[in-house]
Structure 1
Amino acid sequence: MRKHLPLNALRAFEASARHLSFTKAGLELRVTQTAISHQVKQLEEMLGSSLFRRLPRGLTLTDEGLALFPVLADAFSRISGAIERIEAKETREVVTVGCVGTFATGWLLQRLDRFRHSHPYVDLRLLTNNNRVDIAGDGLDLALRFGDGSWHGTEAIHLMAAPLSAVCHPDIAARLRNPADLVGQNLLRSYRAEEWPLWFAVAGAPCPMIQGPIFDSSLAMAETAARGVGIALVPIAMFRREVETGRLARPFSAEVAAGSYWLTWLKSKELTAGMCAFRDWLVDAVRTDTPSGALRTVSEGPGNPIKRAQRIRGKQRA
C-alpha cells in the first residue's frame, strides 16, 4: 500500500539536500538541527532507503537522494510560486532562467524587451552565472549554457555555434603579423585548458607553453584584453560590438569550434506555459537573428566537439 509521507519530513529533506547540511536546513526552516535530522531519519525509515551519507564534515546524497531531490525541489518551487501569485492576486507566471553571462550581455539582454512585449504574463527572472550551474539546486526552470549539450539528466536545444577567436587591444594587434607572433605574449586562459591548443592547431602554428592567468568568465577575459593586458580567446559573436567600436581587435581570422550555446532544462521537470513561451520565443529569435543557428534538440547531448577536434588534430599530426 502506498505510504503517506509527512510533508515536514519531505521539506526537511529538500532543504538539507539543497544545503547539504542539517544545520543550515534548520536555520532556513526555523527548527533545530536535531529536529531536521530526526525528520529526515523518519523519511528514510518510511522509504526503506538512505537518502544521505553522513560524513564528518557534512552530507552527500545517495543515489536515492539524488533521484528524489530534483522532484521535490520542483514541487516546492511550484507550490511557492502558486501561493505568491494567489497572494498577489495576479495571473503572471514566474519563469527563472539561468544564463551564462557572456550570452546574456552579448546577445540576450538587447532582445528581452521584445519578449516582455509579446509575453506580458510571464515574469522573467534572469540569473547570470559563469557557466557552472546546478539547475535544481539553483531553483532554475531553464538554463542557457555553453558546451556540447551533454549534461546529465537534461533536455537541450542547440541555439547557435560559438566559435572562439583571439582578441586583444588594437595596439597589440598592430604588432602581430601571424599566429607564431603570439609566442611570448600573455595568453589569457579559461578553465577549459584545451582551447588554446585547438586554436593554434586550426591556425596552423605550434602551440607555445601557455602560462597566462586563468579566468572563469569570457567577459572578464575580454575586459582584461581590452585593457592591453594580454590576448583572450572568446566566442567572437558575443563581442561584435567591442570589435566594431575598436575597443577590441581581432588580429587573426582563425576560429575554433569548442562549443555552442544551448537552452536546457531537467528531464524530470514538466514544462509550464511560461517556460514554453520563453523557449519558443528564444528559438524563433535565434532563427530570425542568427540564420546559421542550426537548431536541434538532444537528450544528454550529441557528443563533445572538443574531443572531435582533438581527434582531427591527432590525425593531422599522424
Structure 2
Amino acid sequence: MSRPPLPLNALRAFEAAARHQNLTRAALELHVSQAALSHQIRKLEASLGIRLFHRLPRGVALSDEAVALYPVLNDAFDQIAAALNRACSTAPSEVVTLGAVGTFVNGWLLPRLAGFEAAHPGVDLRLSTHNNRIDLASEGLDAAIRFGHGDWQGLDCTPIADTRFAPVCAPSVAHRLRTPQDLIALPLLRSYREDEWPRWFAAARVDGIEARGAVFDSSLALAGAAAAGAGIALLPLAMFERDLREGRLLQPFDIGIDLGRYWLTRLRSRPEREPVKQLRLWLQAQNALTPVAP
C-alpha cells in the first residue's frame, strides 16, 4: 500500500527547525507562530511514524532518523529554489557560437574567459575549436577566430591579437644551440604553412638549412612535440607565454618574425547581432590591456 503524499508545509517546517535546531527561529523564518510550526512537525512525525526531535530546555535535538532525513530535504529545497530562479529570470541568455583556433583558445582566451562571463552574464558563449580551416555558413557559427592576414573573401575581419613567431624547444635540446646555424643538426617541426621556416631563416640570415621534420596541423601539437624533445618548433610566442614562463619550452634565439595575426571574422552577409558585437568589443578591449597574469 502506497504512502499518502507528505505535506510540503510540514516538510518545510521540519527542514527549517532542523537547520536552526530552534523552533522559535524556524517559526520566525517561515512567518508562522511557534505553535503552528510545532503542529506541522507533529503532523509529519505522525505521518512517518517516527520521532524527529527531542525537546530540550533550550532548543531541540535531532533524532537519528532526522539526522538522515535533513540533508536530503535541505538539498531538495535548494534545487527547487535554483530551478525557480532560472524559470523566473527576466533576462534569458543570448547564445553566441564562436569557432576559434585551438592555439588561441588555449593560450589567450581561456585565461580571460571568466572576465567575459562576469562582464556579460547575458551571453551564453559556446566554443568550437578548429585548425584555421572553417566555413562559417555551413557550420552555423556566429563568428570565428582565425590566424592569417585578414583577407578572407566575404568576411568582415577585426584584428584581435598580434604575435611574433620564433623557434622554441625543450630545455634538453636548447643547450645544443649556440647559433641559428646549429639548427642544421636537429629536426625542424613544421606546420602546413610551408613558408614559415624559410622566412625565419631569411630573418636570421642563415643559408643552406632545409626543414625536414614532421608536419602538424596545429600549433598545440607542434608545441607538445617540441616540449617532448622531438625537435624545434616555430611558434606564436604570445600563445605559449605560460609554457615559456614555466620553462617547459625555451626560446634559444631572440629572432622573431611576423606571419600574421588573429582575427575575429563573421559573414558580411549577416547583420551583427548585439551579443556578437559585445564579444567583439570585449576582445578588442582585452587586446589593448596588459597580458593576463599567470
Q: Give the TM-score category using the shorter length.
A: 0.5 to 0.7
1:208 aligns with 2:213: no
Q: C-alpha separation between the residues in 1 aligned to 2:94 and 2:223?
A: 36
Q: Which amino acid aligns with 2:181?
A: A
Q: C-alpha separation between the residues in 2 aligned to 1:207 and 1:163?
A: 23
**Other-structure match for 2:131:** 130
Q: C-alpha separation between the residues in 2 aligned to 1:207 and 1:167?
A: 20
Q: C-alpha separation between the residues in 2 aligned to 1:238 and 1:157?
A: 18
Secondary structure (helix, strand or coil) at the match of 2:172 reads helix
Write the mapping of 1:1-318 to structure 2, written as runs, cut at 5 A: 91-289=92-290
Secondary structure (helix, strand or coil) at the match of 2:186 reads coil
Q: Which runs of 4+ in 1 moved over 3 A?
A: none
Q: CA deviation at 1:90?
A: 6.2
Deviation larger for 200-209 or 138-147: 200-209
TM-score (norm 2): 0.67
Identity %: 48
Q: C-alpha separation between the residues in 1 aligned to 2:267 and 2:208?
A: 39
Q: C-alpha separation between the residues in 2 aligned to 1:121 and 1:231?
A: 43
Does the CA-based 8 Å contact 2:91-2:122 persist in structure 1? no
Q: CA deviation at 1:289?
A: 2.9
Q: CA deviation at 1:275?
A: 0.5
Secondary structure (helix, strand or coil) at the match of 2:147 reads strand
Q: CA deviation at 1:209?
A: 2.0
Q: Which amino acid aligns with 1:268?
A: S
Does the CA-based 8 Å contact 1:159-1:283 persist in structure 2? yes
Q: CA deviation at 1:193?
A: 0.2
Q: Root-mean-square deviation (CA), in Å?
A: 1.8
Structure-2 change in CA distance of 1:170 and 1:144 (3 Å): same
Secondary structure (helix, strand or coil) at the match of 1:166 reads strand
Q: C-alpha separation between the residues in 1 aligned to 2:171 and 2:288?
A: 33
Q: CA deviation at 1:288?
A: 1.5
Q: C-alpha separation between the residues in 1 aligned to 2:271 and 2:254?
A: 43
Aligned residues: 205
Secondary structure (helix, strand or coil) at the match of 1:188 reads strand
Deviation larger for 231-240 or 200-209: 200-209
Secondary structure (helix, strand or coil) at the match of 2:138 reads coil
Q: C-alpha separation between the residues in 1 aligned to 2:90 and 2:285?
A: 31
Q: CA deviation at 1:96?
A: 0.4
Q: CA deviation at 1:243?
A: 1.0
Q: C-alpha separation between the residues in 1 aligned to 2:214 and 2:95?
A: 39
Does the CA-based 8 Å contact 1:144-1:263 persist in structure 2? yes
Does the CA-based 8 Å contact 1:201-1:207 persist in structure 2? no
Q: C-alpha separation between the residues in 2 aligned to 1:178 and 1:212?
A: 19
Q: Which amino acid aligns with 2:118?
A: H
Which consecutive residues of structure 2, in runs of 5 or more, have no partner in the other structure?
1-86
- Give the greater-gyration-radius structure (CA): 2
Q: C-alpha separation between the residues in 2 aligned to 1:199 and 1:273?
A: 41
Does the CA-based 8 Å contact 1:167-1:248 persist in structure 2? yes
Q: CA deviation at 1:219?
A: 0.4
Does the CA-based 8 Å contact 2:162-2:262 persist in structure 1? yes
Secondary structure (helix, strand or coil) at the match of 1:128 reads strand
Q: CA deviation at 1:160?
A: 2.2
Q: C-alpha separation between the residues in 2 aligned to 1:262 and 1:280?
A: 13
Structure-2 change in CA distance of 1:207 and 1:167 (3 Å): farther
Secondary structure (helix, strand or coil) at the match of 1:136 reads helix
What whole-Å deviation, never above 9, does each CA across 1:161-196 have from its counterpart, x for those lacking one? 221110001121111000000003100000000000
What whole-Å deviation, never above 9, does each CA across 1:16-75 have from its counterpart, x for those lacking one? xxxxxxxxxxxxxxxxxxxxxxxxxxxxxxxxxxxxxxxxxxxxxxxxxxxxxxxxxxxx
Secondary structure (helix, strand or coil) at the match of 1:259 reads strand
Q: Which amino acid aligns with 1:170?
A: P
Secondary structure (helix, strand or coil) at the match of 2:140 reads coil
Q: C-alpha separation between the residues in 1 aligned to 2:215 and 2:131?
A: 13
Does the CA-based 8 Å contact 1:144-1:264 persist in structure 2? yes
Secondary structure (helix, strand or coil) at the match of 1:193 reads coil
Structure-2 change in CA distance of 1:175 and 1:219 (3 Å): same
Q: CA deviation at 1:91?
A: 2.1
Structure-2 change in CA distance of 1:283 and 1:176 (3 Å): same
Q: C-alpha separation between the residues in 1 aligned to 2:282 and 2:142?
A: 15
Which consecutive residues of structure 1, in runs of 5 or more, have no partner in the other structure?
1-85, 291-318
Q: C-alpha separation between the residues in 1 aligned to 2:210 and 2:124?
A: 48
